[in-house]
Structure 1
Amino acid sequence: MIRPFLPRKFPFIPATDVAGEVVEVGSGVKNLKAGDKVVGIVSYLTGGGLAEYVVVSEKLTIKRPQEVGAAEAAALPVPGLTALYVLTHHAGLKLDGTDKQANILVTAASGGVGHYAVQLAKLGNAHVTATCGARNIDFVKSLGADEVLDYKTPEGATLKSPSGKKYDVVIHCANSIPFSTFELNLSENGKVIDITPRPSAIWTYAVKNLTMSKKQFVPLFLIQKLAENLKYLVNLVKEGKVKTVIDSKYSLSKAEDAWPAKSIDGHATGKIIVEP
């Protein structure tokens, strides 16, 4: 059981990411003890992170180094793991910078997953094009993006790289963009990874597979190696190679205010934190 700091996720997904201090452990716990500073993930299915105390599995909890604060750690698990998994598993990117340069597009790059995706992609020596609103262009550039498009402009709506590059991988963190728009801008074997797939995404995925298209559309449903990859991410934060950007903080008693304020309308820059 830990007393957590809590990031707020989408309104239809219970809060799952927590960081804090262990106050009690079960008899089967081997590697954690009361007083340990930790970061972990509550059940994806049931959530339960919006509470003063939460119960988490040892398998989904890691120790947090003192250099990484509770708030920045609490924002990291699901969005950070999503970005990392897409880049390393689906894009096949090596984050040590030894790979041949890939061209990557990140949509909604100022949001939770997007702001981590830009930073991780740059660690992998990728050329990153990103989309966001006009007010966040300088912010996304500060994360390392090579090109930034205002999604509300005609140029941004087409998703064309200003330098004319074709994308090898798209990390799609936004909504309501048809695959046909991406397809025009993909390299010969390019792929779009949709991190928030809707029913139409399943149809597109099926059609592309049935027609054996070289250009792929992949709905993301599962992230693997959670604890192992979370430890890797926390170390990147500790080393200053990746940063968590916190949009705003709310007390637990005002948690409901965090949702309509920015989470529901999708205008948060980075992550929203709920703290005891």
Structure 2
Amino acid sequence: MAANLMHAVQYDGYGGGSAGLKHVEVPVPTPKKNELLLKLEASSLNPLDWKIQKGVMRPFAPRKFPHIPGTDVAGEVVEVGPGVKSFKVGDKVVAWLSISDGGGLAEFAVSKEKLTVARPAEVSAAEAAGLPIAGVTALQVLTQSAGIKLDGSGQEANILITAASGGVGLYAVQLAKLGNTHVTATCGARNIELVKSFGADEVLDYKTPEGAALKSPSGRKYDFVIHCALTGIPWSTFEPNLSKKGKVLHLSPSPSSMATFALKKITFSKKQLVPVWASVKSENLDYLVKLVKEGKLKTVIDSKHSLSKAEDAWAKSIDGHATGKIIVEPF
């Protein structure tokens, strides 16, 4: 297999945005021990992809240049490396590729067995490819950081989800409503009905005075804020809307939010800002795939782009107004 060439999209250094992407022919990778070679059917983009290109994770990612970006993929196993026990050639799967190695914007990619899960026939490649970073982040912030039980048990919690029409936000709304929660959400005016259709109890247009102030229309104070927005919202906007022990769970921590986190800690404030970093685990991914199969979770697809037009998908992600997930397909 390794003697064959494949189409891939890569960049040679930091910066450059979508213009920095290059279309190349490179050798199909070879799976090593406990690895699988996948023929990709879909990849999804995340803001982390272009942030890595900007250099926010240097020197840890990428590991080397040139770098093929993309971590969230779905496809078919075409070769198994030594030691692989859970998969065979022909299996349909969804996988998360490491941030430092990437490899998703290509026709083939190598995944680690421990970060690959089976994809049932009821779940399309595009639906599955949306899940690894965005879905697992939503799941972990709700169940681990906020302690929401998705079987509906547990005390009712009032939750605010910012940027609720984005990749993480739409998963977070759906997952939160599996628990005993009242969900207030913010998004742009064009997506209000969509976010309501996925279960949000109240939806605010973030451009209105009420939306900018994050005020619950029913006057509720939030026990948890799942802060998905990439743009900064100051602590002074969150603070009056929080319950006595309310927490802002910040998914894209900035230097100013880290300073607020430290200040709230050292002053023993009951209201806290907590930075959250998700870690993709196969058991979480498998759980989400099963929810999609059962019809309890849906991947909202903003747009699909062929690999030959990957720079359009990249630019759309950088623009920051996608509704749901941006998918790249290698055909």
The TM-score by the shorter chain falls in which range? over 0.9
Query: Are residue 3 (structure 1) and residue 3 (structure 2) matched?
Result: no
In terms of mean alpha carbon deviation, does 49-58 or 39-48 score higher?
39-48
**Secondary structure, aligned partner of 1:255:** helix
* Aligned with residue 247 of structure 2, among 191, 201, 219: 191
1:222: how far off?
A: 3.8
**Secondary structure, aligned partner of 2:184:** strand
Provide the C-alpha distance between the structure 1 equivalents of 2:124 and 2:297, rounded to a whole number of angstroms: 13
1:44: how far off?
A: 2.2
Deviation by residue 1:198-240 (Cα, 9 ceiling, x = unmatched): 111211111111111111111112426x101111110000000
In terms of mean alpha carbon deviation, does 246-255 or 214-223 score higher?
214-223
The amino acid across from 1:179 in the alignment is: W
**Secondary structure, aligned partner of 2:108:** coil
Query: Are residue 37 (structure 1) and residue 89 (structure 2) matched?
Result: no
The amino acid across from 1:81 in the alignment is: V
Long gaps (5+) in structure 1: none
Deviation by residue 1:64-101 (Cα, 9 ceiling, x = unmatched): 01110101000111100000000000100000011221
Partner of 1:23: 78
The amino acid across from 1:2 in the alignment is: L
Partner of 1:200: 256
Query: Are residue 12 (structure 1) and residue 51 (structure 2) matched?
Result: yes
Query: Are residue 220 (structure 1) and residue 276 (structure 2) matched?
Result: yes
In terms of mean alpha carbon deviation, does 43-52 or 238-247 score higher?
43-52
Provide the C-alpha distance between the structure 2 equivalents of 1:180 and 1:58, rounded to a whole number of angstroms: 45
The amino acid across from 1:21 in the alignment is: E
Partner of 2:10: none
TM-score, normalising length: structure 2: 0.81
Normalized per residue, the structure richer in strand is 2
Equivalent residues in 2 for 1:1-276, closer than 5 Å: 1-4=37-40, 5-10=42-47, 11-13=50-52, 14-174=69-229, 175-223=231-279, 226-260=281-315, 262-276=316-330
- Aligned-CA RMSD value: 1.0
Residues 46 and 134 in structure 2, CA contact (< 8 A), matched pair in contact too = no
TM-score, normalising length: structure 1: 0.97
How many residues are paired up? 274
Query: Which structure's CA Rg is the greater one?
Result: 2
